[in-house]
Protein backbone atom coordinates (compact mmCIF):
# COMPACT_ATOMS: atom_id res chain seq x y z
CA UNK A 1 0.00 0.00 0.00
CA UNK A 2 1.24 3.42 -1.03
CA UNK A 3 0.70 6.24 1.46
CA UNK A 4 -1.59 9.03 0.28
CA UNK A 5 -2.83 6.99 -2.69
CA UNK A 6 -6.59 7.35 -2.99
CA UNK A 7 -7.02 4.01 -4.78
CA UNK A 8 -4.85 2.13 -2.24
CA UNK A 9 -7.17 3.61 0.41
CA UNK A 10 -10.24 2.45 -1.49
CA UNK A 11 -8.71 -1.04 -1.87
CA UNK A 12 -8.03 -1.09 1.89
CA UNK A 13 -11.56 0.15 2.67
CA UNK A 14 -10.23 3.33 4.29
CA UNK A 15 -12.18 5.43 1.78
CA UNK A 16 -15.72 4.21 1.03
CA UNK A 17 -16.58 3.29 -2.54
CA UNK A 18 -19.43 1.66 -4.40
CA UNK A 19 -17.82 -1.67 -5.29
CA UNK A 20 -19.44 -3.89 -7.90
CA UNK A 21 -16.75 -6.60 -7.91
CA UNK A 22 -13.75 -7.76 -5.89
CA UNK A 23 -11.33 -10.69 -6.05
CA UNK A 24 -7.86 -11.39 -4.60
CA UNK A 25 -6.09 -9.04 -6.95
CA UNK A 26 -8.49 -6.41 -8.25
CA UNK A 27 -11.57 -4.34 -7.43
CA UNK A 28 -14.16 -2.64 -9.62
CA UNK A 29 -16.06 0.35 -8.22
CA UNK A 30 -18.12 3.29 -9.47
CA UNK A 31 -16.28 6.46 -10.47
CA UNK A 32 -17.19 9.31 -8.13
CA UNK A 33 -17.58 11.70 -11.10
CA UNK A 34 -19.15 9.55 -13.81
CA UNK A 35 -18.40 10.60 -17.41
CA UNK A 36 -21.07 8.22 -18.79
CA UNK A 37 -24.30 6.67 -17.50
CA UNK A 38 -22.19 3.79 -16.20
CA UNK A 39 -18.59 4.63 -15.30
CA UNK A 40 -16.58 2.02 -13.41
CA UNK A 41 -12.92 1.81 -12.50
CA UNK A 42 -11.05 -1.52 -12.49
CA UNK A 43 -8.07 -1.19 -10.13
CA UNK A 44 -5.37 -3.73 -9.22
CA UNK A 45 -4.86 -4.16 -5.47
CA UNK A 46 -1.12 -3.93 -6.01
CA UNK A 47 0.06 -0.32 -6.31
CA UNK A 48 1.89 0.71 -9.44
CA UNK A 49 1.45 4.03 -11.11
CA UNK A 50 0.90 3.33 -14.74
CA UNK A 51 1.60 1.30 -17.86
CA UNK A 52 5.17 2.64 -17.82
CA UNK A 53 5.78 0.40 -14.77
CA UNK A 54 4.54 -2.80 -16.39
CA UNK A 55 6.59 -5.97 -16.12
CA UNK A 56 5.66 -9.50 -17.13
CA UNK A 57 3.81 -10.24 -13.87
CA UNK A 58 1.87 -6.98 -14.01
CA UNK A 59 1.04 -7.49 -17.69
CA UNK A 60 -0.38 -10.90 -16.78
CA UNK A 61 -2.39 -9.29 -13.98
CA UNK A 62 -3.72 -6.73 -16.44
CA UNK A 63 -4.72 -9.58 -18.73
CA UNK A 64 -6.67 -11.21 -15.91
CA UNK A 65 -8.36 -7.86 -15.18
CA UNK A 66 -9.46 -7.67 -18.83
CA UNK A 67 -10.77 -11.22 -18.56
CA UNK A 68 -12.72 -10.21 -15.41
CA UNK A 69 -14.22 -7.23 -17.23
CA UNK A 70 -15.19 -9.38 -20.19
CA UNK A 71 -16.74 -12.01 -17.97
CA UNK A 72 -18.67 -9.72 -15.58
CA UNK A 73 -19.58 -6.69 -17.73
CA UNK A 74 -23.11 -8.01 -18.32
CA UNK A 75 -23.78 -8.08 -14.57
CA UNK A 76 -22.72 -4.44 -14.40
CA UNK A 77 -25.33 -3.33 -16.96
CA UNK A 78 -22.92 -3.26 -19.89
CA UNK A 79 -24.25 -6.08 -22.06
CA UNK A 80 -24.82 -3.65 -24.97
CA UNK A 81 -21.17 -2.64 -25.04
CA UNK A 82 -18.62 -0.54 -23.24
CA UNK A 83 -15.38 1.37 -23.74
CA UNK A 84 -12.12 0.85 -21.85
CA UNK A 85 -9.71 3.75 -21.32
CA UNK A 86 -6.34 3.92 -19.57
CA UNK A 87 -5.04 7.44 -19.17
CA UNK A 88 -1.25 7.23 -19.25
CA UNK A 89 0.45 10.28 -17.77
CA UNK A 90 -0.63 13.82 -16.94
CA UNK A 91 -0.85 14.90 -20.58
CA UNK A 92 -3.49 12.21 -21.14
CA UNK A 93 -5.43 13.36 -18.09
CA UNK A 94 -4.17 10.82 -15.53
CA UNK A 95 -4.87 12.33 -12.12
CA UNK A 96 -4.55 9.25 -9.87
CA UNK A 97 -1.11 7.62 -10.13
CA UNK A 98 -2.36 4.07 -9.42
CA UNK A 99 -3.08 2.15 -12.61
CA UNK A 100 -6.78 1.90 -13.43
CA UNK A 101 -8.97 0.96 -16.35
CA UNK A 102 -11.99 3.20 -16.96
CA UNK A 103 -15.07 1.22 -18.06
CA UNK A 104 -17.67 3.45 -19.73
CA UNK A 105 -21.09 2.44 -20.99
CA UNK A 106 -24.80 2.27 -20.25
CA UNK A 107 -25.47 4.50 -23.26
CA UNK A 108 -24.39 5.05 -26.85
CA UNK A 109 -20.96 6.61 -26.50
CA UNK A 110 -19.85 9.48 -28.74
CA UNK A 111 -16.70 8.82 -30.77
CA UNK A 112 -15.19 12.18 -31.59
Q: Give the 3-state secondary structure of the chain.
A: CCCCCHHHHHHHCCCCCCEEEECCCEEEEECCCCCCCEEEEEEECCCCCCHHHCCHHHHHHHHHHHHHHHHHHHHHCCCCCEEEECCCCHHHCCCCCCCCEEEEECCCCCCC
Residue 9 beta carbon to ligand 5GP: minimum distance, rounded to whole angstroms: 8
Query: Which residue stretch of 30-38, 54-62, 70-78, 104-112 sits at the interface with ligand 5GP (rule: CB under 6 A)?
Result: 30-38
| Interface of this chain with ligand 5GP, residues 44 to 103, rule: CB under 6 A | 87, 93-96
Q: Is 98 a catalytic residue?
A: no
Task: Decide whether 8 or 62 has the Cβ nearer to Zn ion.
Answer: 8
45 binds Zn ion (CB under 5 A): no
Catalytic annotation, pick one of 39, 47, 72, 100: 100
Select the binding partner of residue 17 from Zn ion, ligand 5GP, none (C-beta < 5 to 8 A, by kind): ligand 5GP
Question: What span, in angstroms and rounded, lies between the C-alpha atoms of 94 and 50?
Answer: 9
- Candidates 3, 4, 24, 33; binder of ligand 5GP (CB under 6 A) is 33
Amino acid sequence: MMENCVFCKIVAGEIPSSKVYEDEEAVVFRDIEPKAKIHLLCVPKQHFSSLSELNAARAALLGRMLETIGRHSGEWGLAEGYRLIVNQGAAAGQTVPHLHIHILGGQTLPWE
